[in-house]
Structure 1
Amino acid sequence: MTLGVLALALVAPLSPVQEASPFVGTGGHGHTFPGATAPFGMVQLSPDTPMKESWDGCSGYHYSQNNILGFSHTHLSGTGVGGLGDIMVMPYRGKASEGADVSSTFSHDQESAQPGYYSVYLQTPKAKVELTATPRVGFHHYTFTGVGQDANYLVLDLNHGVQNQTIDTFLKVEDSTTLSGWRKSRGWGGERVVYFVMKLSQPMGSLIVPGEKKSVDGGFGGKVRAFIPVPKDVLTKVGISPTGIEGARKNLVKEAPGWDFGKVKAGTQKVWNDVLGATTIEAKDPKVRRTFYSNLYLSYQAPNLFSDVDGAYAGHDKKVHTGAKYQHYSTFSLWDTYRSLHPLLTLLQPDRVDDMMQSLVSQTEQGRAVAPVWPLWDNETYTMIGVHSVSVLAEAYLKGYRGFDYEKAYEQMKKAMLSNYRGLDSYNKLGWTASGRGQEATSKSIEYGYNDWCMAKWAEAMGKKDDADFFYKRSANYRNHWDGSTKLFRGRKADGSWRRPFDTLGLVGDEYTESDSYQYLFAAQHDIDSMIELNGGPEGLVKRLDGLLTMTSEIHTGIPDITGRIGQYAHGNEPCHHVLYLYNYASAPAKGAKVLRHIMSTMYDDTPEGQIGNVDCGQMSAWYVWSAMGVYP
């Protein structure tokens, strides 16, 4: 026994990088990717599988698959819409031809991942793959282990993408170890271009580009897939940029100047250890620790860095902007992330907050949208409802962040909230967002009310009393959707009459956003006193919350997002994320805590199925981190 205790004492504690698993959420409906990335990096170097065109393949990868198409450099984490998947590289042995199938089978037994590192053995080309990344560079190591006469290639596929269409590509051989080019695609949000420079550790053989490809500027145009002859053991580095080939080159030279794969991997993993290790937990259960650090890891995937090492970035006006004195970010899933993720970043990633806020200011200034809604690369996708750039900008200001142009931000958001954007016209004129098929009107009114309240708090803090009074008053507009007979929020027409028929378990997409009337019952997060009043006081609120958790889980919709249901509480989607904490306001915290613990232990774990719904750029995981701390923002 003494020897056993001594042996345990000599075992070094695991680091956060050893405890966090990038595979969490890659199965089920989590929609995450397992590949290598730096915290909030521009590059997400990860495998793509054949399921990439399905809803559960939004990230390009799904754990249920046993075939890999290749390794591309950009991916989304946990979204409900797919995209990116740019600049794919794949090892291949065989004949180079236009129709060659370069995909490969693999086994999860020969696949591993840690933050900043991914490895897999590909059975078809008999090649070991190792991947790591810096913020703007993907670093690959390929080792071909097979014997025979077949040639070894790295296939560079510029036509490949995840749920988007390639418009055009360009590839140029600069010298025996350098290629450069770009991929232009059209998908979620519009057109975008990704530029790259690819360096090889050893000279390549004669490049083969099968098919009739047009010659452009000394290179290849059209939808290019190139076969690059390489030796058995080869390293390659790919720098990417939204601004141009020279931007990609600068990123590559600055962030990965040498060929020491292990050094780059160690450097990125040290960053991950520092970022994750800044938050420590007392839990001893290895599974609980792995689950916590995996969720913290998933909370640091987005927003994504979107400027080059010299500060240049591509704006929403489709122009390259230089001279910025901040790091520009994109990938803001605001309808999701204003709830838990952005509050978490203000607490745990304070050095990034001002730059993220200034990014929203620049996007508003340069883009066509009244305010950022769901920015992706240099596009606005207009996905989801509300004006939640208001929410995160106001929160940053109220928490003391002053390193962004908050005066301009305030005027931008005020203008947005007084505009006619997406039902705000009737919300302003009538006092509610009038029902109309497909408008999600009831949800919009409630969320505009929350945005109004955020504007009021912001105005009050800045000494703008008239604005504060106006927005405080208008933040109560949501109450015009309250039906005292059903005690639910429901759709209201422009003439003031209720929309009929009223299916309390339906109208998803018509009146409610990815929810039904019960899942939006407590959505006025800014006005808890009124919610208590409308639901019959503290005791009435407890009864309504109890009823929500015990009633039927049936919903009259085929939308797959509404998962993790306990009665009508749906943890797999965002509108319910704050609901259990409302027990605290009715002096019944133990009731909420019991269900919270149940959710944390049954809807989260350290496996690929360890997320009950879409991670949504970190919102689902940030909820877990907050709840592990015992609070909710």
Structure 2
Amino acid sequence: MFKNIPKYFKIALLSGLAVYASSAKAQNAAQYVNPFIGASTSAADAGVYHGLGKTFPGATTPYGMVQVSPNTITGGDNGSGYSYEHTSIEGFAFTQMSGIGWFGDMGNFLVMPTTGKLKTSSGKRENPDAGYRSSYDKKSEKASAGYYSVLLNDYHVKAEMTAAPHSGMLRFTFPQNKQSRIQIDLARRVGGTSTLQYVRVVDDHTIEGWMKCTPDGGGWGNGDGHADYTVYFYAQFSKPIKNYGVWSANIPEGQSRKREDVESEKYQDMIAHSAILPGVKEKQGKHLGFYTEFETKANEQVLLKSGISYISIAGAKNNLLTEIKGWNFDALHQKAINLWDNALAKIDIKGGTTEQKTVFYTALYHTMIDPRIISDVDGKYPGGDGKAHYTDKFKKRTVFSGWDVFRSQMPLQTIINPSLVNDLVNSMVTLADQKQKGYFERWELLNAYTGCMLGNPMTSVLADAYAKGIRNYNVNKAYDLAVGSVEKFGNGDRGYAPGSIGIAQTLEYAYNEWCVAQLAHWLHHPADERKYMARSMSYKNIYDKDKGWFRPKDEKGKWVAWPDSGRMTQWYGTFETNPYQQGWFVPQDVRGMVQLMGGKQKVIADLNNLFDKTPENMMWNDYYNHANEPVHHVPFLYNRLGMPWLTQKWTRAICRRAYKNSVEGLVGNEDVGQMSAWYVLAASGLHPVCPGDTRQEITSPVFDKITMKLDLAYATGKSFTIVAKGNSADNVYIQSAKLNGKSYNKCYLDYKDIAAGGVLELTMGATPNKLWGIN
């Protein structure tokens, strides 16, 4: 029965059957998912150029390769390809990124149902009638876990979509029309264009081909992210292909194809005047599209399904034929719901309002999009050397937004999805090996070493995984890569990082060097342990006692001029922050940081000021800026300062003020699961200050009861439950606690306490108990 299926797929299948067998007892959590939460890139609504959540509302499955989603925009800082306030849709793509800033990527294989005259360019939002994009009925737009639908006004077509892990299906309900059509823009890419495409008609229902996406075509960081990948597709239509063809734009040799060029009037005019080639069965070109036309009766449904692969057309075909055997859209949709119910059942909550449940399960949903699988159903995956590889030991994963997700997203997964963390380490180790690099990439996208953001976040993920017993990878090679990372990017013998973002870099590098010191200790490399533990104290070298805060130094070791607004100055030695926000990032040595800053009482007063001056809506600001990651551990510092009731107060306030069931429900970019993972952990009553240290801070849960299911391959217990007795909007303070029935007076747990399974029982009240948790 399982003869030709890789081992990890057998395990996943058996696990899925076990979950399915108990699904009658499990909560149907998928019903609470609202994919519109955060689905806006609007800088105007956010009040800052970073925009809002930047999530996508389309259909996907847990960590799936495919996301079938509406796209409203191709260019600009719109990484998800969609923004809720846009009034027209240019098509429905099969790949999307979630919650990212910078100039995005993916958005490949853009499908659009149309009627009437064929148009070969999407047109612009400012002039939608010039292209094939369509206005849509906002009231008709629906999104849920594994499903999206909308009514396209211009064509009177209802578009519905659902997904499987490696494939997707679209169902279009057409009006009566003699010239209805499905057209596919093969060149389309969110942050630019694919640079070369190929399409072939296989039979009267099937096409296949590929789209090559290189840095020359913009994409991630407008090419600066070095994304270089090929998407292969194998697509079938429910209605026979009879009247079909290809359009091909004449892109001159030497024409620049970066994002700004693709957006230009000149380039758009070239696309709009593409040659239309009826009946062409096979074509390769620089800007291709495919169309098939047919007559439709009123309310006639025409479907398209496609598998994709990053390996080959054969891989795409196998992915499709394995996952979607017929044309039953509703059955496929139900399978997607089941996958989400099973995945979201990792955490079961009791209590809370419907609004709070929606926020929680949508947040958990958003943590289950990346790092997505990139291996095909047969276990083959694209390697960093550009070759196909095979493994049955792990699932190859991609989209590692390291600087964001090491803080909450990956620590969350160590509890509820440790095999995913193991997959990620394997994926990053093999990537470095195949690319012959001696260090980990900090922000990986489709095998690219993109160089995005700063620090060495994979050292944190590795240290945290190893500390928690997640070790099914080449440990020695992983360690060597961690050492290589901090040697290539680190504070080094100089003891600080000079330059315009020297505060951020020095503090991040010091923490990363601490992570390597921990690994060196566990793996018995005493010389390395001493070396990197000493370097982890480098943060002290940029603290100016005269100014009472961290300050950047230049190449010669001299202080960079102190600005008039001092530590409140955005970008003064920092990245997307001010020094007041960045300066708290010394998770590896909180005690030393407090001493450096003048002692506990002074630090507490400064933290109180940080929170008290934060605006009520918690949008982008100069104080506690939850919209940006460097402060995400800060509310939990009160636990370390002997005032855990303030951790309880502020995490509950952040959960209430920064997360809502609305498009504007995320105060900043989702950042590939990080923003949502913070909520999932904090609302559950746990969060680390320092990944790599197994200490987990206890805080005030939002819900009455939270049960986390554990993986018996990594944990000894079946589940860990947190009960909050007497919990309410007013009763946010922990009065007392019991762990497995015994009185417990610490404001933290060790990870091993969670992995062992059991129950943490908290009694809640309206006023702080200043005697609990201060030991």
TM-score norm. by structure 1 comes to 0.91
Correspondent of 1:539 among 588, 593, 601: 601
Does residue 212 of structure 1 match 2:242? no
**Closer, same or farther: CA 564–589 of 1 in aligned 2, 3 Å:** farther
How far, CA to CA, are the matches of 2:579 and 2:461 in structure 1? 26
Residue 31 (str. 1) matches residue 69 (str. 2): no
Counterparts of 1:229 and 1:526, CA distance in 2:
62
Partner of 2:578: 516
Q: For the Cα contact (< 8 Å) 1:459–1:465, is it kept in 2?
A: yes
2:476 is matched with 407
Q: CA deviation at 1:115?
A: 1.0
Residues 257-313 of structure 1, C-alpha deviations (whole Å, 9 max, x = no match): 222212211112111001112211122311111111111111111111111112221
Quick one: structure 1 residues 367 and 117, their matched pair in 2 at CA, closer, same or farther if it must change by over 3 Å?
A: same
Q: Does 1:572 align with 2:633?
A: no
Maintained 8 Å contact 1:213/1:224? no
The alignment status of 1:16 with 2:38, answered yes or no, reads no
CA distance 1:283–1:432, change in 2 (3 Å): same
The corresponding residue for 1:275 is 343
Alignment map for 1:114-513 (pairs within 5 Å): 114-144=144-174, 146-149=175-178, 151-185=179-213, 186=217, 187-188=219-220, 189-190=225-226, 191-210=228-247, 211-212=274-275, 218-230=282-294, 231=296, 232-323=300-391, 325-367=393-435, 370-419=439-488, 421=489, 424=490, 427-435=491-499, 437=500, 440-502=501-563, 503-505=565-567, 508-509=570-571, 511-513=573-575
Structure 1 counterpart SS, 2:191: coil
Change (3 A) 1:546 1:284: closer
Give the aligned partner of residue 88 of structure 2.
67
- Judged with a 3 Å threshold, the aligned counterparts in structure 2 of structure 1 residues 359 and 14 are, in CA distance, closer, same or farther, namely closer
Query: Partners of 1:388 and 1:293 in 2: how far apart?
Result: 27
**Conserved in 1, the CA contact under 8 Å of 2:245 and 2:276?**
no
Shift of residue 148 of structure 1? 4.3
Candidates 88, 95, 115, aligned match of 2:117: 95
Bigger Cα displacement from structure 2, 517-526 vs 90-99:
90-99
C-alpha contact (below 8 Å) 2:37/2:362 kept by paired residues: yes
- Kept in 2, the 8 Å contact 1:550–1:566? The answer is no
Q: Letter of the 1:529 partner, please give it.
A: R
Partner of 2:687, secondary structure, is coil
TM-superposed CA distance for 1:255, in Å, is 1.4
Partner-residue secondary structure (3-state), 1:171: strand
Check the 8 A contact 2:158/2:173 in 1, yes or no: yes
Tell me the distance in 2 between the aligned counterparts of 1:630 and 1:606. 20
SS at match of 1:587: coil
Whether the 8 Å CA contact 1:195–1:244 is kept in 2: the answer is yes
**Identity in percent:** 34
**Residue 563 of structure 1 contacts residue 613 of structure 1 at CA under 8 Å; is this kept in 2?**
no
- Mapped pair 1:597 → 2:626: no
The Cα shift of 1:97 comes to 4.4
Report the residue type matching 2:465 in the other structure: A
The amino acid of 2:485's aligned partner reads A
Judge conservation of contact 1:603–1:612 (CA < 8 Å) in 2: yes
TM-score, normalisation: structure 2: 0.75
Change (3 A) 1:393 1:320: same
Q: Distance in 2 between matches of 1:13 and 1:365?
A: 42
In 1, distance between residues paired with 2:590 and 2:280? Answer: 62
Kindly provide the amino acid, as one letter, of the partner of residue 411 in structure 1: D
Greater Cα offset, 336-345 or 402-411: 402-411
C-alpha root-mean-square deviation of aligned residues, in Å?
2.2
Q: Distance in 1 between matches of 2:434 and 2:536?
A: 28
Aligned letter for 1:79? I
Question: How far apart are residue 494 of structure 1 and its match?
Answer: 2.9
- Matched AA of 2:289: R
Q: Are the structure 2 counterparts of residues 563 and 512 from structure 1 closer, same or farther at C-alpha, using a change threshold of 3 Å? A: farther
Moved more, 276-285 or 293-302: 276-285
Report what 1:621 is aligned to. 676
Amino acid at match of 1:284: G
> What SS does the aligned partner of 1:597 have?
helix
Task: Check whether the contact 2:206–2:235 (CA below 8 A) recurs between aligned residues.
Answer: yes
CA drift at 1:219 = 2.8
C-alpha distance in 1, partners of 2:556/2:133? 59
One-letter code of the match for 2:109?
A: I
Gaps of 5+ in 1: 1-11, 554-561
* Counterpart secondary structure, 1:418: helix
User: Cα–Cα, structure 1 residues 496 and 221, in superposed 2: closer, same or farther, change >3 Å?
Assistant: closer
Query: What is the CA distance between 1:551 and its match in structure 2?
Result: 5.0
Count how many residue pairs are aligned between Structure 1 and Structure 2. Answer: 602
1:469 CA drift (Å): 1.8
**1: CA distance between counterparts of 2:450 and 2:280?**
31
Q: Which residue of 2 aligns with 1:557?
A: none
Distance 1:431 1:217, change over 3 A: farther
1:485 maps to a residue whose letter is D
